[in-house]
Amino acid sequence: MFMGKRVLVIAYYWPPSGGSGVQRWVKFCKYLPDFGWEPVVYAPSNAAYPAVDPGMGADLPDTLEVIRRPIREPYALYKKLMGRKAGREVTEISSGKKTWKQRLSLWIRGNLFVPDPRVGWVKPSVRFLKKYLKAHPVDVIVTTGPPHSMHLIGEKLHKATGIPWIPDFRDPWTRMYYLKHLPMTERTWEKLRRQEQSVLDSCSTVLACTPYVQEEFRAQTKTPVACITNGFDEEDFAGEAPLQDGYFNITHTGLFAADGNPFTLWKVLGEMAAEDPWFRQALRLRLIGKVDVEVMEVIKAAGLEANVVSLGYCNHEEAVREQRAATVLLLPLRNDPEYRPILPGKLFEYLAARRPVLGIGQTDGAMAQVLASTKAGETADWMEADKMRAFLGAAYKQFCETGVPETSGDIGPYTRRATARALARLLESV
């Protein structure tokens, strides 16, 4: 029988959900027992996940207690309004031009569901968990967002029970880059800011996912603010790396959104392919995950359509295999100043794959700092064609001569075991 302390984790994204949002707490729950903490997870039983990966939680301990309760979400109404077939992924908030129906749906989402469309789960969850906690006490409550309505559950439970509570921010809240695409009224913005401030001021400790978000929250509240980044699980990268297939593979895994479309990169690659027929023959753009139509259109316009290998959504195991088999890994951020503090979850798996990374984004941002400190690659600004060409040209030269070597910087602080150890210390501190 486990004799350690218990932590209740309230999460919307949980297996069978796929995608990066679920991995942080799946891995925390895998390793926390090694450091004296028994997690108990509270998650929805019928969530409208945009991607499903049944294998995501395969390495969780069989003894992990997962409490599932039904949730009501407005996406059935959205699909009816939009005339979409059931199961189709909801259009991303920040993608391209909108029809009048899309604009209407975004107004409804932005102003009637505050802070997000999962807010209807708050009251029934608080009712259920207050009863649960009386019969099954825990030492700490953790809520993880987005969706940030999870933090409203934690706030109410904390006030009702006095149990220490840590809201975990995988992304910023009111400073999240895509919120400006929602047609929210000033009254809605004020409500959102009040919710955020109340959560920051009433919790025991705030947990941020990047140093930049940590700095922003420290300037906003007197509550202590800790930072534990995402990471990679060494067990996912165990064994020999896949053999190279003889092509110069520039690989991207995960969602490839229109507002992260690296126009300059496609132009540079198109020019390199036009100048060197051997490069054109060797080049492969391997895209694993959902790719917006606009991205494919720009690739085609650059004359690179024949070089694309688009595999669509793959499960996590397949994505890791693709990362390790890459020649160069591509990590473009969204072209938005507010994306500067973001550390994409796949960045850490790119580090573990030990393939050189070409980052595209703010050269003074969080991603650029990690790539530089781990000697895992370089970051070019969106318009820095010369830097992109130099990086890719040097990699292609190595590819032709001796092969592109693995990176060798220190990535130990980003293992999931190391981040779980840091989390256990934080739990002890509250």
Residue 8 dihedral angles phi and psi, to the nearest 5°: -90, 120
The reported pLDDT for the residue numbered 129 is 98
Q: Given this model, what pLDDT does residue 87 score? A: 37
Q: Tell me, what's the pLDDT at 86?
A: 36
* 2 pLDDT higher than 70: no
pLDDT of residue 81: 57
Looking at per-residue pLDDT, the higher value among 198 and 181 belongs to 198
pLDDT at 51 over 70: yes
| Equal CATH topology for 5-72+115-231+416-429 and 235-401 | yes
How far apart, in whole angstroms, are the C-alpha atoms of residue 278 and residue 11? 49
∠ CA(141), CA(147), CA(148), 5° rounding?
A: 60
Q: How many CB atoms lie within 10 A of CB 262?
A: 25
Task: Check residue 94 and give its pLDDT.
Answer: 54
d(CA 100, CA 265): 33
Give residue 367's pLDDT: 94
So what's the pLDDT on residue 90? 35
Per-residue confidence band for 4, with pLDDT thresholds at 50, 70 and 90: confident
Using a pLDDT cut of 70, give the percent of the chain over it.
93
pLDDT: which is higher, 308 or 77: 308
Per-residue pLDDT reduced to its tens digit, 5-26: 999 999 999 999 987 789 999 9
Q: Which residues make beta-bridge pairs with 207?
A: 168, 226
What pLDDT does residue 89 have?
36
pLDDT in tens, 298-322: 999 999 999 999 998 888 899 999 9
Kindly report, residue by residue over 217-246, the tens digit of the pLDDT: 999 999 999 999 999 999 999 988 888 899
pLDDT of residue 194: 97
Confidence band (pLDDT; 50, 70, 90) for 78? low
Tokens of 249: 């593979």
Give the count of beta carbons closer than 10 Å to the beta carbon of residue 278: 11
Q: Which CATH number fits domain 5-72+115-231+416-429: 3.40.50.970, 3.20.20.10, 3.40.50.2000, 2.60.40.1120?
A: 3.40.50.2000
Residue-level pLDDT at 178: 76
Q: How sure is the predictor about 58, in pLDDT bands with cuts at 50, 70 and 90? A: confident
User: Does the pLDDT value for residue 73 go beyond 80?
Assistant: yes
Q: Domain ranges for the chain, please list them.
A: 5-72+115-231+416-429, 235-401
**136 Cβ contact list (under 8 Å, min separation 6):** 6, 40
Integer Cα distance of 356 and 377 in angstroms? 5
Which one is predicted more confidently, 48 or 200?
Answer: 200
Looking at per-residue pLDDT, the higher value among 106 and 61 belongs to: 61
pLDDT given for residue 77 in this prediction: 60
> Taking a C-beta distance cutoff of 8 angstroms, is the pair 381, 363 a contact?
yes
pLDDT mean over 320-347:
91
Write down the pLDDT at residue 93: 55
User: Rounded to whole angstroms, how far apart are CA atoms 27 and 420?
Assistant: 8
Residues β-bridged to residue 37: 5
For residue 350, pLDDT over 50 is answered with yes
Cα 1 to Cα 4, 39, 139, distances in angstroms: 9, 14, 17
Q: Is the pLDDT of residue 85 over 60?
A: no
**What would the CATH number be for the domain defined by 235-401?**
3.40.50.2000
- pLDDT attached to residue 272: 98
Give 329's strand partners: 251, 357
**Residues 171-177, mean pLDDT to the nearest whole number:** 87
Percentage of the chain beyond pLDDT 90 is: 73
For residue 85, give Cα distances in angstroms to 77, 88, 90, 99, 125.
12, 6, 11, 17, 30
